[in-house]
Amino acid sequence: MPINFDEIMQLKSEGCEFRYSDREAILYALGVGFGSDPLNTAELKYVYENDLQTVPTFATVIGWGMPTLARSGINYLMVVHGEQRLTLHKPLPIEAEVVVDERVSNAIDKGEGRGALILVEKVIREKKSGDKLCTLLATIFARGDGGFGGPREGAPAPHELPARAADRVVDCATRPDQALLYALSGDRNPLHRDPQIAKMAGYPRPILHGLCTYGIACRAIVSSVCDYDARRVAGFDARFTAPVFPGETIATEIWTDGPVVSFRCKVRERDTVVLNNGKCTLRS
């Protein structure tokens, strides 16, 4: 069924309630590599229930699997995650009851044979206070759904990286079973776990979740720029450019300019950019 612009722009899910505890927050932290060195005591605040902090990008798995796009008409076999933006209105609590609203904010037609961009906005609020915790904007690249007659403009402009050499580079090794662990935070897509499904999709073996790479980039910045204080992160945006295979090493190139931290991630083994146009905004 082709995309109908008027109908897809009406898609939303409102008032969905979820609860998470320190168990889910710790599991996510382990899934993006915190605690991989058990002697690094600075990382214990994310994986050990003693003065815990929540990884900012944990926001991407709160309320996972909402049904907003179920009636969108897009071909899910041809869908990839194009970009993820995150604004944190306050640091995420280590446990909370939340209310989540999600809606399609735009559908951009790149043309017949060129796909479509579906922008999905999610707002997460604390149930008790009604305060906003965070706002997320995901760009979904529906590769098989162009030519439906929608607008051609309106995609978010990518953040421009500085022209100078990176101020620092942080290497994060991934484990061969990284995708199996990360999947427990919500995304059970078999592409990331089943070798046969991965081959059907054109990959030699299962690939790492893009949002896991996104979380690993956040870990690199929290550990180096923020001195392990995740409460300093107020925003985290990146564009997905290529997959990572579990077991590869992700090198995060980092540029710091006051409250704006620019970043890009490469796979060491293949010298391939896997996250680009990254922007982390810090609180003063």
Alpha carbons 283 and 65: distance in angstroms, whole number: 30
Cα–Cα distance measured from residue 82 to residue 214, given in angstroms and rounded to the nearest whole number: 12
Catalytic residue among 101, 109, 187, 237: 187
**How far is 251 from 57, CA to CA, in rounded Å?**
18
- Which of 192, 194, 209, 227 is catalytic? The answer is 192
- How far is it, in rounded angstroms, from Cα 136 to Cα 124? 8
The Cα 210–Cα 217 span in angstroms is 11
Residue 180 Cα distances to 24, 194, 227, 260, angstroms: 15, 10, 29, 33
Read off the DSSP letter of residue 191: G
- Cα gap 74→203, rounded to integer Å: 22
Measured in degrees and rounded to the nearest 5, phi and psi for residue 181 equal -70, -45
Query: What one-character DSSP code corresponds to residue 58?
Result: G
Confirm whether 192 is a catalytic residue: yes
Task: Report the residue count for the chain.
Answer: 284
Q: Residue 150 region, left (φ>0) first, then alpha (ψ -120 to 50), else beta?
A: beta
**CA-to-CA separations, 240 to 37, 217, 273, in angstroms, rounded:** 27, 12, 9
**Number of C-beta neighbours around residue 272 at 10 A:** 14
**Active site residues per annotation:** 187, 192
